[in-house]
Amino acid sequence: MIVDTSIVFGLASLTFAGVKDVVLKRQATRCSGSGTYIAIVGTVWMLFFSLFGLSQGSLPVHSVLKLGLIAGTFSVSADYLLIRSLRDLDAGFAVTIYRLNLVPAALMAVILLAEPFSLLKAFGLIAGVIAVILFCGNRNGHPHKIHLSTGALICVVSASLFRACMGIVYKVASDSYTSLASGGIDCHQAWFLGLQGAMWLVGGTLVSFGEGRPRWTKDDVITGVITGLLICGTVLFLAKALAIGQAVVIIAISQMSFLVTAFLSWLFMKEHFSTRKTIGLACAIIAIILLSIATE
């Protein structure tokens, strides 16, 4: 079986995201302000792509500017709200709700973008949903002890919807990219992605002042730079995948980054693999296989 190029790009995005999640997990447990961290990530993200755009001697056209700002707003809002929700919600519960953005994303892709839907894709999405619930849910092993804060619940549900909307904007924007199918990167794509980093910088700066911590610590800078570079890889390959693939398939696959996170956590942090996690990982692999076959 020859794997579709969009699936290869999607898996590359998944890999970068999985490594990023390990770093983000560490950041979420620290006491430093999330706004400062977001601002540093945004700075790296913005510079990485905008410098490439400038090297091409071109500035963003109106359509790229508009879509980049919209995608950036959805992106920074989703990640900030997720980080906020983790302060009051059980981590497994919050991450599960967030990763289930593959469901609203699929619905929007079918309804708004008129993407084809099949029984095979349905089975792939169902397997993906089961994988998310099994792997991410109830990490503390006590479902009845999950603390539900109304404000935090609204935050994580909104984060999930915003992440789904971001993926759809990526797909809409991909119609303007002419070099993605050949594996290249053009100035329009660079500006589209760089503008999202700028939104992270602006949003993170505003949040940091609101938190009363407009201070960049050494640890924040190191973690933020690493995360920023990993996000650059994540969004670049996500954009490439969505430019030539279907949003229903690619967005669902992109939410399986816990495959990489779990492996790295087991390898370096000696985290235990429960039966529940093992079944969840198996379901995730089945979901990716089914969705890959559905693109043929």
Buried/exposed 5-43: b ≥16 CB within 10 Å, e otherwise: bbbbbbbbbbbbbbbbbbbbeebbeeebbbbbbbbbbbb
For 224-240, the pLDDT digits (tens) are: 899 999 999 999 999 98
Q: How crowded is the C-beta side of 215, counted as CA atoms within 13 Å?
A: 7
Tell the residue number behind the tokens 């945004």, with chain if given: 42
Residue 152 confidence (pLDDT): 84
Residue 263's domain spans which residues? 5-294
Write down the pLDDT at residue 85: 84
Average pLDDT over residues 21-50: 78
Residue 48 clears pLDDT 80, i.e. is over it: yes
Looking at the structure of the chain, the number of domains it has is 1
Phi-psi region of 138 (alpha: psi -120 to 50; beta: other; left: phi over 0): left
More confident residue, 184 or 78: 78
pLDDT of residue 16: 94
- Name which of 240, 286, 238, 237 is nearest 259 in CA terms: 286
pTM: 0.86
